[in-house]
Amino acid sequence: MNYLPAGFLLASMLLLGCAEPDVNLSASQSTATTVPDPAHNSRNALDWDGRYEGVLPCADCEGIKTKLTLQQDGHYQLETQYLGKSEKVFREHGQFEWDDSGQIVTLQRQQPGGDQFFVGENVLWQLDMDGQRVQGELAEHYKLHKAPPPELAAQPLADIKWQLTELMGQQLPADNPVYIVFNSSEARVHGHAGCNRFFGGYELNSETLRLRISGIGMTQMACMQDNYESEFLQALHSVDNFNLTDEQLTFNRARMAPLARFTAGGPADE
């Protein structure tokens, strides 16, 4: 009978013993990557409040015309109409809750069903009864798109003096001089940046909520007092989409926190 050298057996045992920690380490690293980041979820990183509209699939009608409004205070308003079946519009309101991941909202309804939505950028995806995204050919039909208020839908930002209320996450005093006006007939913007007046052009798509401001010029006054001019100009250069809820306007860039917030101050005065 042949015997393996004792040194070979000892080396083999040591190698096997060292391999197990690597497997466990990989498993722990894999688990760590699936933990949601609470600082970069839909609830914290998106300007999600507002009205969403669309036609959702229906088992016994042509579709469910749906309008769902989510409010910052955790309340919702829901309007539904069963197309091809009834002209009646059903209205309800209540509260909604976020899940632990900060990605999904659940409407607290008396009659559960179709009440969970995954929150994306300017879109809500209705989830199935198991809380999962619908897959396959019908997937695109289970979503609601964010919409501007009806009275502002045609030219959602035009000819209104938008007063700056928040800049880069900082609340500003009510008497600050910063504002912006969109001239729809010429696709131009103008306003006050805090010290100097500015002007430029803009491109806007009210359906996709895309916004780009370009060709910014300004006066050259020297102001000694503190102002928000440099940060505001940075926001104008950076914005690529907007949100509009009632009389509140928000400038955004991608999925980051809002760059600036405005309140409608009435008709443009110049």
Do the beta carbons of residue 123 and residue 143 sit within 8 Å?
yes
Each residue's pLDDT tens digit, 219-239: 988 876 667 899 999 999 999
Average pLDDT of the residues in 39-46? 82
Hey, what CATH class is 152-267 in?
Answer: mainly beta
Architecture field, domain 42-147: Beta Barrel (2.40)
Q: What is the pLDDT of residues 131-189, one digit of tens each?
A: 899 988 778 889 898 875 554 444 668 888 999 999 999 999 988 899 999 988 788 99
Higher pLDDT, 109 or 268: 109
* Spatial separation of the C-alpha atoms in residues 49 and 122, rounded to whole Å: 9
* Domain 42-147 identical in fold to domain 152-267: yes
Domain residues of the chain, as ranges? 42-147, 152-267
Q: What is the pLDDT of residue 14?
A: 43
